[in-house]
Structure 1
């Protein structure tokens, strides 16, 4: 029995549009609710949300039978952290602040077993192998690993063409907020120089054999990014959705009171 097919990786390879959402509550119950919307992918965020290995593992478990594919974002690309979340069952990682092809190559190797990488082969006790019930896991897992690197600084933009040549990188995700900050437009990813940089980057990614991704919280911006070449598009953040809906509900009652 081989490792499970990574449907998200397969969809990116086919060029299918994939709509996603951020899962930031760091709670399996909330993520299960979010999955009921049938987003194609959900980011279990370990960079800006209070997730740890146990909360990530719990969310991977509740998503295992759902349409929504889990994408785990680590706060960094350390080999030991990658090994832990892969053993917990993650197949797709989103790694922030990638600024060189060498960095991307190191991430690819961290996600793969030898001879193509350095991932430790102790899968016998891991959730990834369904606790040793997938006998061919180690032999077949490499083919199902999906790596998405975040390019979100001008150094990363400068290295983009080299990053796009790295075999084993499946997608490049542009981080509009950090990119805007790095360009001197804190909090304004719509500033003309930032928008031009995003448009050029998405076009270059889309013209490569990699998939282009980005996040947008309003429909118009998201549609613009899709027109510019984004193939996997995050269109919401669960924490923001709850906050906005709660505030709007209370504001309505205050206005009517």
Structure 2
């Protein structure tokens, strides 16, 4: 699984994983998803569980992102040392946030501590030069999910090392004092952020609840889709059985 490349133009389909079972990752990889995102922000993932999830992802060549719960240096380094393909980072509200975030993922001109022993470096097999180059290509997706983030989206997108902008419509709605991710103000802001990402040559991403929504948001410019979660897929399957 490469951590240094990220397609900004071709539609990519993934889902959130909220259950700490590596078999789920194996199933998703076997189903042909382009990527998955372990949701360590809203689901109970400790470092040991993340470790096993990454092993499972590598076994089926499924790029695995981690939505980290915070931007602390320790949290970022832990996810990357385990071998995550990239990070999805909540509440990036300013260019300063983005610069700090990127610095904590980078060895050169950054703050990330280096060890050749973790999985990302092949347990020492890659050598320092190759490992540093791989680390400095980490994919960093910034979630835009507040009024402040929308206002700063252009500056965030133009921070060197930011790979894309991902619209979190639920929190964005709350930032507007609303309780609908499809409220007109939220949809208008979504279009604007996706356009900013595209114009900056960065990946435009969005979370949707149903696959049927993809066409609508693709027309708005989105190419990186996180559709539902392992839990919602399981629930839909169960409801279909009962129907």
Class of the TM-score when normalised by the shorter of the 2 chains: over 0.9
Q: How does 1:1-257 map to 2 (within 5 A)?
A: 5-6=2-3, 9-12=5-8, 15-114=9-108, 116-123=109-116, 125-135=117-127, 136-186=129-179, 188-250=180-242, 252=243
Kindly report the root-mean-square deviation, in angstroms, between the aligned alpha carbons of the 2 structures: 1.6
Q: What is the distance in 1 between the residues matched to 2:44 and 2:6?
A: 30
Q: What is the distance in 1 between the residues matched to 2:46 and 2:3?
A: 23
Q: What is the distance in 1 between the residues matched to 2:64 and 2:162?
A: 17
Q: What is the distance in 1 between the residues matched to 2:196 and 2:79?
A: 30
Contact 2:90-2:143 within 8 A present in 1 as well: yes
Deviations 1:166-219 (A, max 9, x none): 000001100011111111221x11111211111122122112121100011223
Q: What is the distance in 2 between the residues matched to 1:141 and 1:33?
A: 27
- Residues 1:244 and 1:139: Cα distance change in structure 2 (over 3 Å): closer
Structure 1 stretches of 4+ moved >3 Å: 136-139
Name structure 1 gaps, 5 residues minimum. Answer: 253-257
Deviations 1:221-240 (A, max 9, x none): 22111110001111231101
Aligned-residue offset at 1:86: 1.1
What is the DSSP-based 3-state SS (H/G/I as helix, E as strand, rest coil) of the residue aligned with 1:26? coil
What is the DSSP-based 3-state SS (H/G/I as helix, E as strand, rest coil) of the residue aligned with 2:124? coil
Contact 2:204-2:224 within 8 A present in 1 as well: yes
Q: What is the distance in 2 between the residues matched to 1:59 and 1:246?
A: 24
- The size of the alignment, in residue pairs, is 242
Contact 1:121-1:138 within 8 A present in 2 as well: no
Deviations 1:56-93 (A, max 9, x none): 11111111142421011101111011111111112301
Q: What is the distance in 2 between the residues matched to 1:204 and 1:220?
A: 24
Contact 1:91-1:144 within 8 A present in 2 as well: no
Larger radius of gyration: 1
Q: What is the distance in 1 between the residues matched to 2:113 and 2:211?
A: 42
Q: What is the distance in 2 between the residues matched to 1:137 and 1:172?
A: 27
Contact 1:212-1:231 within 8 A present in 2 as well: yes
TM-score normalized with structure 2 length: 0.94
